[in-house]
Amino acid sequence: KVSIFWFRRDLRWEDNVGLYNALQSDYPVIPLFIFDKHILNKLPKNDARVSFIFDELQKMRNTAQEKFASSIAMYHGYPEEVFSQLISEFSIAEVHTNRDYEPYAKKRDAKIEALLAQNGVEFHTYKDQVFFEPNEVQKQDGGMYLVYTPYMKQWKKIFEDSKLTLASSENHLNKLYKNSRLPNLSLADMDFEKSEIQVPNYQLNKNFIEDYESTRDIPSIEGTSRLSPHLRFGTVGYRKILQQAMKSKNEIFWNELIWREFYKAILYHFPETVNRSFKPKYDQIEWRNNEDEFEKWKQGKTGYPIVDAGMRQLNETGWMHNRIRMIVGSFLCKHLLIDWRWGEAYFAEKLLDYEMSSNIGGWQWIAGSGVDAAPYFRVFNPYSQTDKFDKQKKYINKWVAEINTSTYPEPMVEHKMARQRCLATYKLALKS
Ligand code: FAD
């Protein structure tokens, strides 16, 4: 008999709660990864996230082969079909995995659990990617917080009474199934190709966290951690990050990590907000949704240098600074009156750190339609944002090389007019 550990968004051998528990079972553990066709079929062939996942798995696979005469079984298929195949090939006692809270993941796991149960296989799931799950930080009356600050305070309060321990999965890897020839794949086997976009390393030392408050809003410097893609795919353990954050007295970095959990909890409790405004009145806004204007925004050709710099950074690197995400988002929804869902979908296609809960949370914050969102009348002024956060235009000059030439376009819309048009449109929708 064997046990299986199913990797999903936790691509590491160390401090992995589900893996640790799988390795405590009575049977050798087969590590498994499924390149899920339900997800991959919708992606372009050079998707940078698929390349990143693939590279990380190959590194992990090499470690397992060299040190433990084991491997990772890799499949490209639909999870339900892959599990049916595994059930026919192996005598499986248990399947272990870390919990995922997204709407698709919840449905997928329920299906797999039922399939395994029909075949007498136990299915065990664990908390790994968050410190508190969506139901663990609740108001006194048991409901979900709809405002961030009291959620954050309660999060910290219960954190003080909790123990932060790492799961020492890396110390038990000799329990892996001994067979270094478990099925492997290449990107070409899946009809994908290597992307030129790479995931950068993250920074997490004490000095960085101490300086974070003063550096995090300046897009021209490396003032943020770059942890987001690593958190998304679990190439760094979350508890290690929290341990580092605890070493600093400054809570600003900490608070950002809590935003991530807040948005996960919101999406979990309100899955319909994937494509509906959290505040229903905002779905009455008469978006202009002009396709040519959307195209200019996507390409970074709006004539607003800070917006264009952000969109070009996104297109070229798969990442955009948080301050600039807010500016380009506000420009799309408010200056151009294009539906936040269009912007959300474009970010989903391009961001290396694309996280459904944070992306929807971020876009609905900007549009004003989300929980605890920016008020509808807050229209970011791209010029004053530039004065505040990129006064010397270092960020702009880096991404918009032709800024001072005649080829750089005129602003596609006049700021004052756009602001008034936005306020009038929003007011009309909200009063009805
Ligand atoms: P740091 O500033 O170093 O922050 C550390 C970590 O805290 C981040 O890695 C992230 O996990 C978390 N965090 C920071 N800010 C936020 C926030 N506002 N909301 C939620 N978590 C946060 N973040 C994503 O991870 N995936 C997304 O798809 C995503 N889409 C966004 C869309 C919009 C419109 C906006 C305004 C924000 C979005 N964010 C998203 C949040 C934020 O911009 C990124 O997490 C951040 O820029 C990542 O860079 P970093 O790791 O260097 O951040």
79 C-beta closer than 6 A to ligand 1: no
How confident is the model over 80-102, as a mean pLDDT? Answer: 98
229 C-beta closer than 6 A to ligand 1: no
The CATH code of the domain at 130-166+201-269 is: 1.25.40.80
The CATH code of the domain at 1-127 is: 3.40.50.620
257 C-beta closer than 6 A to ligand 1: yes
Confidence of residue 159 (pLDDT cuts 50, 70, 90): very high
Whether the CB-CB separation of 178 and 69 falls below 8 Å is answered with: yes
Residue stretches of the annotated binding site for FAD: 212, 224-228, 253, 256-263
Reference 159, options 139, 131, 130; nearest CA is 131
Percent of the chain with pLDDT over 70: 100
Could you give the C-alpha distances from 153 to 32, 250, 254, 326, in angstroms and in order? 38, 15, 12, 24
Whether the CB-CB separation of 93 and 2 falls below 8 Å is answered with: yes
| CATH 3.40.50.620 intervals, the chain | 1-127
364 C-beta closer than 6 A to ligand 1: no
How confident is the model over 179-188, as a mean pLDDT? Answer: 94
> What is the CA(322)–ligand 1 centre distance, in A?
6
| Assembly ipTM | 0.99
Whether 264 shows a pLDDT value over 90: the answer reads yes
Q: With the CA atoms of 204, 267, 11 and 179 taken in that order, what torsion angle do they form, in degrees rounded to the nearest 10?
A: 160
Q: At what angle do helices 322-330 and 382-389 cross, to 10 degrees?
A: 170
Residue whose Cα lies nearest atom 23 of ligand 1: it is 358
Question: Would you call 6 helix, strand, or coil by DSSP?
Answer: strand
- Report d(CA 332, CA 328) in Å as an integer: 6
Whether 249 shows a pLDDT value over 90: the answer reads no
| CATH 1.25.40.80 intervals, the chain | 130-166+201-269
Give the pLDDT confidence score for residue 180 in this predicted structure: 86
Give the pLDDT confidence score for residue 303 in this predicted structure: 98
Whether the CB-CB separation of 9 and 100 falls below 8 Å is answered with: yes
> Which atom of ligand 1 is closest in space to residue 216's alpha carbon?
2
How confident is the model over 349-354, as a mean pLDDT? Answer: 98
- Each residue's pLDDT tens digit, 389-401: 999 999 999 999 9
Whether 287 shows a pLDDT value over 90: the answer reads yes
Give the pLDDT confidence score for residue 432 in this predicted structure: 75
Which two three-digit tokens encode residue 132? Answer: 């508190």
> What is the CA(74)–ligand 1 centre distance, in A?
30
Residue whose Cα lies nearest atom 9 of ligand 1: it is 228
256 C-beta closer than 6 A to ligand 1: yes
What average pLDDT does the chain have? 97
Find where tokens 């499986």 sit: 92
Percent of the chain with pLDDT over 90: 97
Beta strands in 101-240 (DSSP E): 122-126
Confidence of residue 247 (pLDDT cuts 50, 70, 90): confident
Give the pLDDT confidence score for residue 127 in this predicted structure: 98
Residue whose Cα lies nearest atom 6 of ligand 1: it is 257
Count the Cβ atoms, other than its own, within 10 Å of residue 387.
10
Question: Would you call 75 helix, strand, or coil by DSSP?
Answer: strand
> What is the CA(405)–ligand 1 centre distance, in A?
33
| CATH 1.10.579.10 intervals, the chain | 273-431
How confident is the model over 218-234, as a mean pLDDT? Answer: 97
Per the model's pLDDT, the better-predicted residue between 207 and 176 turns out to be 176
CATH superfamily of 273-431: DNA Cyclobutane Dipyrimidine Photolyase, subunit A, domain 3 (1.10.579.10)
Classify residue 389 by burial, with Cβ atoms within 10 Å: 0-12, 13-18, 19+. Answer: middle
Give the pLDDT confidence score for residue 218 in this predicted structure: 97
Residue whose Cα lies nearest atom 2 of ligand 1: it is 224
How confident is the model over 257-267, as a mean pLDDT? Answer: 98
Give the pLDDT confidence score for residue 175 in this predicted structure: 98
Whether 107 shows a pLDDT value over 80: the answer reads yes
Reference 241, options 250, 177, 230; nearest CA is 230
> What is the CA(354)–ligand 1 centre distance, in A?
9
Instruction: Indicate the top mutation candidate among 203, 210, 228 to test ligand 1's pocket, ranked by most ligand atoms within 8 A of CB.
Output: 228
Find where tokens 């082969």 sit: 65
pTM for this prediction:
0.97
Whether the CB-CB separation of 334 and 419 falls below 8 Å is answered with: yes
269 C-beta closer than 6 A to ligand 1: no
